[in-house]
Homo-oligomer: A and B are copies of this chain.
């Protein structure tokens, strides 16, 4: 019971961490854009983003206005460092809160899924189809009001299992990945220990999907393109 209590506390902290990280990144980028415009009016050229801010922060200010430009650059650099420190904390805490989910999705995406669901318990109770489109709420709403096709993936798109799969296989990859993530979340919430078969199953499923692309590449080489490997009905 105390462990369950602690899990809840920890997954809530993970949610705060990932939201704070996103806010730091967003505000750093917004201020970096303002800085680049301003510093570009005073110095020769300023690269965009945090890298550009770092170069400005290293300058020796000459006069009051310069001092403000350099100081604004320091704020941008600080927010970038804060973002990185929050990411490092997530890397440490996510595997403790959700070992299977963190191993499968990586600590950041695991934290993001927990945040989107509002905690580990609500995530563990969601069907795989919902996990698949978490973070694509706008697209899902457009679909439900008849204005768009059903979204294939939400935030899981950021994972290489989905992103590095060719477009015609992406739907199957997203569905397979989301299915295992849903099981991982349940294992983490209800059992709390690593479930090796889960990871092995996913590895095999992804190898099968990737094999299609390699098959097709072979087909293409011998001029035979048309054998329909994208029979979605075969996917789980």
Contact = CB atoms under 8 A, between A and B. Distances in A.
| Dominant secondary structure at the A interface | helix
- Count identical subunits in the complex: 2
Contacts of A82: 71-72, 75
Interface string A32-55: 001101100100000000000000
Interface residues of A, number: 30
A184 interface: no
A90 to B, nearest CB: 10
A117 interface: no
A146 to B, nearest CB: 28
A27 interface: yes
Given A34-B19, A78-B75, A86 B68 contact: yes
A168 interface: no
Nearest to A12: B41
Interface in A66-121: 68, 71-72, 75, 78-79, 82, 85-86, 89, 92-93
A128 interface: no
A31 interface: yes
Across chains A and B, which 5 residue pairs bring their CB atoms closest together, nearest first? Answer: A16-B38, A27-B27, A23-B34, A13-B65, A68-B89
Interface of A: 12-13, 16-17, 19-20, 23-24, 27, 30-31, 34-35, 37-38, 41, 64-65, 68, 71-72, 75, 78-79, 82, 85-86, 89, 92-93
Given A68-B89, A75-B75, 20 more contacts: A13-B65, A16-B38, A16-B41, A17-B65, A19-B38, A20-B38, A20-B72, A23-B31, A24-B31, A27-B30, A64-B92, A64-B93, A65-B93, A68-B85, A68-B86, A72-B86, A75-B78, A75-B79, A75-B82, A78-B78
